[in-house]
Chain A
């Protein structure tokens, strides 16, 4: 009974490069959420997706960030032209239905150097 799987666990990128973070939800879950945790902060909502649809991306920066959840394969959070301020832990969560007890993955720790 695999939980939410995120990879990579750690990602180092130079300023200006692209970062691609992957998330495979729990089996049977079709609702995926991405959260970001900056140092010494709580988790902040970024985007909510269902298969092939972005439902709410209100928490995601308008530029350089994009997310997708294709029909086949994992959800991807893409950050283009990374800057130092993008360094954070990015968590993916999934749920069976909308809202309520979402289960989180172990996170991807992005470091921009």
Chain B
């Protein structure tokens, strides 16, 4: 039972354009969401997070949007750069004090120069 779903296995975007990565979840108990970036043969690197009490969080070129009613979040990267090419994982915690991250399967982003 996939509680965090990333339905697009891959995405290609031209350099300089916007990349939008989507994530859906089914568990209403999830209250904190994170995006991780992963290069081949490396571990996931924390990118940006959002609490369920917010609907937007911005950090430089990266913005995460949360739509609680739709159980949907998205990561926007503007402008996209070739170095952004990686696999992006959406992950979630459920409840205060929760320590177990639930991950999606990831979306492979390719930014074309």
Contact = CB atoms under 8 A, between A and B. Distances in A.
Contact of B106 (A42, A55, A95): A42
A33 interface: yes
Interface of B: 4, 32, 34, 36, 41-46, 49, 89, 91, 93, 97-106
Contacts of A106: 41-43
A25 interface: no
18 contacts: A6-B43, A33-B100, A42-B4, A42-B104, A42-B106, A43-B44, A43-B91, A43-B101, A44-B103, A45-B100, A56-B99, A99-B97, A100-B32, A101-B34, A102-B46, A102-B101, A103-B46, A104-B44
Nearest to B2: A42
Contacts of B102: 45
Nearest to B98: A99
Interface of A: 4, 6, 9, 31, 33, 35, 40-45, 48, 55-56, 59, 91, 93, 95, 98-107, 109
B31 to A, nearest CB: 11
A55 B36 CA distance: 24
B43 to A, nearest CB: 4
A45 B101 contact: yes
B89 A42 contact: yes
B23 to A, nearest CB: 11
Given A48-B100, A98-B99, A100-B93, A40 B105 contact: yes
Quick one: which of A31, A43, A91, A98 has the most chain B CB within 10 A?
A43
Contacts of A6: 43
Contacts of A103: 46
